[in-house]
Structures are given as C-alpha cells and as structure tokens.
Amino acid sequence: MAEAKDAVWKKTACVLCGSNCGVLVQLGGKDNREIVRVRGDKAHPGSKGYTCNKALRLNYYQSAKDRLDSPLRRRDDGSFEKIGWDTAIAEIAQRFMAIRDEHGGDKILYYGGGGQGNHLGGGYSPAFRRAIGSRYRSNALAQEKTGLSWVFDRTVGGFYHGDFEHCQTAFLVGKNPWQSNGIPRARVSLRQLAKDPDRTLIVVDPRVTETAELADIHLRVKPGRDAWLLSAILGQLVQGDLIDHAWLAEHAQGQEAVIEALGDIPVAEFAAFAGIPLAQVEETAAVLGRTHSLSVLEDLGVEMAPNSTVNSYHCVLLFLLTGNFGKAGAVNLPSQLVSIFSADKISAERDEAGHEIGYKTTPVTHSRIISGLVPCNMLPDEILTDHPDRFRAMLIESANPVHSLADAKRMRDALGALDLLVVIDIAMTETAREADYILPASSQYEKPEMTFFNFEFPENCAQLRGPIMAPLPGTLSEPEIHARLLEAVDPFDEVDLEPLRQAAETGLDAYALAFTAAAKDNPKINHYGAYVLYRTLGPSLPDGMAEGAALWGVAQMFAATEGDALARAGFDGPGPVAGNNLFSALLAAQSGLVFSVDEPDASFRRNRLPGGMVNLAVPEMLDKMRALADYDAARTNDEFPMVLAAGERRSYTANTVVRDPAWVKSNNALTLSINPEDASNLGINDGGTARLTTARDSVDVVVEVDKRMQQGHISLPNGFGLSYPNARGEDVVTGISPNELTSVEDRDDFAYTPWHKFVLARLEAVGKS
C-alpha cells in the first residue's frame, strides 16, 4: 500500500521487551486511535532504526478488546460493577487505612510498578505507600535477577553490563537475544559478531537456538547442569594459567581463595557431567584467556534453573579472572538515571564460615530479601497462614503475578485470602480477576512513559516518550491515580504547594530555588517528592507531559553524582544547571538522547566496594561451588522422565503485554517443542496432541517436532494461556499458561528464584496422532 503524501509519523518506542527500540508510528482507524503502521526510528540513538518483527504488531496491544474504561468493584457474588473514580479512590483509601490502623502498614505489600516499557508510573507510588506505612514490595525481578543482584553487589559493587557492539568475544549464558533482545540491535549485532573472523560468539544453551546457530562455539549443556560446565571452564582457566594475574593484582581482592578452589576442580569430570566434550571446554577457556575484550550476559535460562545464584557468581568470575572489567568492549558499570536494583546492604555480621548474617528477611518465612524485594516464590507462604505478621493487603500495579509466578493456583489462593486486593492495569488480566477493586490505567501510548532499562556503555541513552493519542475515556495515568490516593489519605495544604506552582511558571531555575527552600521548611515536601513535582511542576510542562515531572528530580540527582559523564554528553555547567538542561532535553528529544558518555575507569569509581576494588571471594558462593563435587544435581525420574522449559521466548511471544491471540502469525508460538527421537518413541507425530503432566497439573498440548531440542528436553512458549474475548464477547483461553504446571517448591535455595526452565514432566500421546 502506497504511503499517503500527508502521512504523519509519530515518534515513540516499542514496549514489548526491555530494549524499547525507537519507532515511528502512523495512526488511523476510528478517532485515529489505532496504530496502523510501524517502522524503526533512525534518529533514536540506541536502536538507530532497528526493530524486530514484534514491533510491527503493536496495535494488538494498543487496541485490545479487553481494555478497561472504568474503575470496578467486586460485588458479594464475585462479579464486578462499574463505579466512579471519586468513589473508588475514597473506598480504597479508607480500606487501606483501616488495615494500617488495625494491623500496621507493614502488612500491605506493593507488587509491580511497571513492565517492559512503563517504569515512569511506578516511580510515583512511594508517596502513597509511605502514607499508608507500606514497607514491603516485590516485582518480577525477584523471580529472575535477585541472585544476580546479590552477587554483583558483592563482587563488582553494582549492576554490570557488557558492550556487545564492540567486544572481541561475547559469552551468552541461557540467553537467546535473537528472540529476547537484551543487547542493542540484537539481530544486527549477532550477525556482525558471527561474520567477523576476529571476533568470537560463545553460547551456552541446551537448545540450538537462533543465536546458537550463529555461534562459533555452542556449548550444548544438559538442562540444569550449567553450574558444572561454568565451573569446568573456570577450572580450566586457572589450571591452564590463562588468567590475568597483573590485572588482578592491581584491581582485585580475594582472588587467592578463588584460584585455590578452582585449582581443585576436576575439569574433565565436570565437563562430562554437563554433557560437554573436554576439548570444547579447553577451546572455550583458551579463547577467554587470550581475548582482549570479553562481554558476558546471562539470562533466564540459568537464572530460572537449578544453582541459579552460583551460576551468576560463575559468570562474574569469567570476566574478572580474565581482567575484562572496567575497559572498552568489556564488562562495565553503566550510569543509570534510575537504578532498577536497590543497592543490597552487605551485612558486617558473619558466622564462623564467613557467611553474612543479620540481613533483612520477610516477616513470616524469614526468607532473605535481596535488592529490597520479597521473593516471589515465597509470597503465598507469606499470606496463607495465621501468622500475625502475614500480608493482609496488596496493591498490584502493571503486573500479572497470577500468570507470571510459579504455581498459579496457589497464587490465586493467596490473593483470595487477602483482606484487600487492588489492581492497577489497562486490561482485565488474570490477576485483575482476583481483585476487590480494579483501577483502569491509560495505555503506554496515551501518556508520557519511559523505561529505566538504560544499561549501555560507554554511551547511554534514554527516551521520555510523549503520548501519541488521548487517553481512553474513563482511564487515568498511574501518576494521577497515586496522586489521588495520597490526597485521600494525607493531603497537602494548598498554601504549601501554590508557591511552587508559581515558581514553575517562571522557569526551572526559579523552581529549583523554590523547591530547595520549601523542602528545608517542610519535610513533607521531600517525603512525598514525586507527588509534589507532579502537582506543582507538572502543570507548567508542555501539553500532555505532566507525568514527566518526577524526572526533574532524577535529572538533578544524576547531575550531582555523574557530572563528568553528563558533561561529555553535552550537559555541562554547575549541577543544578546541568540537571535542568538534561530535564529540558528529555522533554524535547522525541527520539531520545545520549545522557551519559563514559571513560572506561568510570566502572571503578561506581564500584561501591571499598577502594573501588573488585572482590572475587564470596564465602557463600565458594561453598556452593565446592559442593558441586558431590554431583547433587536435580534429576529426572521414572515418573517424570523429561525436563520442561516452561516459558520460552519465540517470534510471537511477549510476556503478557499483548493479550490478543490474533497477533500470532505462526503456530510455533503455541506448540510444545520436542526432539524427533522422543516424539517417535512416544508415538507422537508433528502437529499431534499429547498429554503433558507435571507434579502440579496436566494439560493437552499440540506438539511440534524440533531437531533443535535435546532428547529428554521439551519446551513451551511464554505469554499464552490468557483469557481474551472472542467475536461474541465470550472469554476464551488460547494456549497453555506455563505456571499452571510449575511449583513454588522448585526454587533456588539461596535467592528463591523459581526453576521455570527445569520442570520435571511426563509426556504421553493422546488418542490418534
């Protein structure tokens, strides 16, 4: 179809994964509310015109038929009724306060705060949470990245990321960027790595993924045996004297204990146990030992599998032992406008083994809290009890834990046992169906939005996206919802806010002076900072951009702590001036901007450990690494002879961001993948139906015979099993919800992250295939 000469393209971003590639969209349809065309935005400094196939179908998110357009309240019979916003806000505020007053605000848990592309709204939640005394929070990171977070806080002193556009060697563990992205312009970058004879791509994955097909070295590990493989590679590095002694002497501490432990690794035996030829381990170690720049990236394939926290530790040791930290093309600590990880306080208290004690734990099960997050797998046990400190209420925002967390049935039971459940979302999700109240939010294209997945180095970029259409009538943005809830609980006197509004009309310099003075005189200003910015600075911002007001505070803090990196990006001057300039640029730069340009030594400055030295010796992880010699691996058995990967990224999966099954253009998005020999042995043909059984449940699945799977290893896609209205308005479930099959008991013994990628299962033919 030819493009109209007067076609208008609006700048925004794809919201289907954490890369948030910049895109241009055309609007059409009724009232110009549909996204009818999409293409990459070449002016975006990060994606530079790149998109994968998923971005082309963004309208299935924006124009979904299950969008909510009114607050809903549950009736006694379990159905919902529409109510007005004033009624909803008043009743919800009163019920939260009643729970606070009777049981304490610490019995109220906040969950969520954003998905793949909408982090701005969650930034406004702390004000209301503080007002009701809510102390505990969680989100999906607590079932994915908390083990990694615990490790990097104790080894490199902050969140790290590799430079995959410039590294000589890329090492990917449990990661398939071809489908899940995670690196800039993923498919372009992977092809460049594969084609360059001077660069090496190493992939650790049981499957022959699209990324593995491009790899120079594919380490096709047995499912669940990654820890033995990684330990073998590290052992070979040490025993072959392939580590960077000079770099370690200058920049590290604790290496002696690690080198001693790795010197005892039985490399050949560990490699065999992991299913990898010794020659391949030796080849991999040789490449890592001689490379001048190594970037390492781990993901859910090992983070949602047995030994996940020690796997994260192994990944850090790979780049530290080879001296690939704090230099160009290697692993670095990027600047961050807002960190998605809270710095984990390292306890000074230790037991006789040197393990930390005295860390923060959950109120009922006393489980370790990492990065400020209650472990997702422990949530049901923190609710389904008569313990006086159990959670009694939850506020869930832009999250769907009933679908995304292990053991969906138990999660539904837990939510049903709460005294109050309030859900903020754009659609009638599986979690929303369990709520007492549902508050409808505007979509990510109907309000200002932003992601805080800003991880690149040396140049880091960000995009504050403006709305490309008006909000769906009846919806509100999350900042407005949080503001109204706060005003119902602990309102400000207008006398305190009006001078700030007047200063904002004068300009950012005047506002900065007025805000500083007001905060000194009234502690409540800082206590509810984001709310104050929204209600005072927000009205003075360009039309439709009020929700971006909180970024003024973010820009000021960034200028105060990262002035040199900010200046190299073109925002120089005294801190407040540079901060104001950055904020103004974020508002104006529709395609996003580079906000930070780093020198390699920035990573040592950002390292929060003493002296900026990296630390290799972590007693808890060294003990787990030594325990691998017992070969105590999770194993299949006669009842469940297969390993199910419950939730795989494919061409048409995107968590649950897109709920309309019509967006799928391939049956592959819905099928269970199985090795041809397994299928033959079970009497199942390609396209046939089989019965999939785990310890939790049984479901019928359509089977796809796939030679890329190992024998004994099967896989289901993520993002399906969602309820969505058909043409007659009847709710229909398409595909399998993987977490109907998983168990909260199958989890890492340290960070409690679930084993979604290692679910024991049985498959049987159903009828005639």
Residue pair 759/736 in contact (Cβ under 8 Å)? The answer is: no
**With the C-alpha atoms ordered 572, 577, 583, 588, is the resulting torsion angle positive or negative?**
negative
Query: What separation in angstroms does the CA of 135 have from each of 111, 129, 391, 749?
Result: 11, 8, 11, 24
Q: Which tokens hold the place of 353?
A: 């083994």
**What value does the mean pLDDT take over residues 19-31?**
95
Spacing of C-alpha 548 from chain mean position: 22
* Ramachandran bin of 383, using left for φ above 0, alpha for ψ from -120 to 50, beta for the remaining angles: alpha
Helix (H, G, I), strand (E, B) or coil at 72: strand
**Per-residue burial over 607-644, b = 16 or more CB atoms within 10 Å of its CB, e = otherwise:** bebeebbbbbbbbbbbebbeebeeeebeebeeebebbb
Backbone angles phi, psi at 412, to 5 degrees: -65, -40
pLDDT tens track for 526-569: 999 999 999 999 999 998 999 999 999 999 999 999 999 999 99
Band of pLDDT at residue 768, cut at 50, 70 and 90: very low
For the cut 70, the answer to whether the pLDDT of residue 769 exceeds it is no
CB atoms within 10 A of CB 287: 18
| Partner residues linked to 421 by β-bridges | 394
**With the C-alpha atoms ordered 608, 612, 614, 617, is the resulting torsion angle positive or negative?**
negative
pLDDT at 4: 55
Taking the C-alpha atoms of 706, 709, 712 and 718 in order, what is their torsion angle to the nearest 10 degrees?
-90
Q: Which tokens hold the place of 46?
A: 């990060």
The CA distance from 724 to 397, in Å, is 20
pLDDT at 626: 97
Residue pair 482/96 in contact (Cβ under 8 Å)? The answer is: no
Instruction: Give the CB-side neighbour count of residue 593, counting CA atoms within 13 A.
Output: 19
CB atoms within 10 A of CB 460: 23
pLDDT at 1: 46
> What is the 8-class DSSP label of residue 322?
T
pLDDT tens track for 244-255: 999 999 999 999
The CA distance from 473 to 475, in Å, is 6
Query: Minimal CA–CA distance to 455: which of 159, 22, 153?
Result: 159
Spacing of C-alpha 691 from chain mean position: 32
The CA distance from 97 to 95, in Å, is 5
Band of pLDDT at residue 3, cut at 50, 70 and 90: low
**What value does the mean pLDDT take over residues 398-414?**
97
**What value does the mean pLDDT take over residues 272-299?**
98
The CA distance from 540 to 533, in Å, is 11
Write the DSSP string, 570-617.
T--SSHHHHHHHHHHHHHH-TT-EEEEE--TTHHHHH--SGGG-EE--
**What value does the mean pLDDT take over residues 134-141?**
97
pLDDT tens track for 448-459: 999 999 999 999
> What is the 8-class DSSP label of residue 226?
H
pLDDT tens track for 188-228: 999 999 999 999 999 999 999 999 999 999 999 999 999 99
pLDDT at 409: 97
Burial class from Cβ neighbours inside 10 Å (0-12, 13-18, 19+) for residue 603 reads buried
Spacing of C-alpha 203 from chain mean position: 21
Amino acid identity of 759?
V
Burial class from Cβ neighbours inside 10 Å (0-12, 13-18, 19+) for residue 746 reads buried
**What value does the mean pLDDT take over residues 169-183?**
96
Query: Minimal CA–CA distance to 11: which of 658, 594, 595, 589?
Result: 589
| Partner residues linked to 731 by β-bridges | 725
The CA distance from 17 to 441, in Å, is 20
pLDDT at 344: 82
* Ramachandran bin of 77, using left for φ above 0, alpha for ψ from -120 to 50, beta for the remaining angles: alpha
Q: Which tokens hold the place of 453?
A: 């997945």
Taking the C-alpha atoms of 665, 670, 672 and 675 in order, what is their torsion angle to the nearest 10 degrees?
0
Residue pair 718/741 in contact (Cβ under 8 Å)? The answer is: no
The CA distance from 360 to 135, in Å, is 12
pLDDT at 278: 98
Backbone angles phi, psi at 83, to 5 degrees: -135, 165
pLDDT tens track for 237-246: 999 999 999 9
List CB contacts of 588: < 8 A, sequence separation 6 or more.
none
For the cut 60, the answer to whether the pLDDT of residue 722 exceeds it is yes
Helix (H, G, I), strand (E, B) or coil at 196: coil
The CA distance from 429 to 414, in Å, is 16
The CA distance from 337 to 396, in Å, is 24
Query: Minimal CA–CA distance to 174: which of 268, 308, 291, 294?
Result: 308
**What value does the mean pLDDT take over residues 64-86?**
97
Spacing of C-alpha 214 from chain mean position: 26
Only one residue has tokens 């498959």, namely 763
pLDDT at 348: 86
Helices (H), 304-393: 308-321, 379-383
Q: What angle do CA 529, 20, 49 make, to 5 degrees?
A: 135
Helix (H, G, I), strand (E, B) or coil at 518: helix
pLDDT tens track for 480-529: 999 999 999 999 999 999 999 999 999 999 999 999 999 999 999 999 99
The CA distance from 295 to 560, in Å, is 29
Residue pair 38/31 in contact (Cβ under 8 Å)? The answer is: no
The CA distance from 394 to 410, in Å, is 16
Backbone angles phi, psi at 689, to 5 degrees: -105, 140
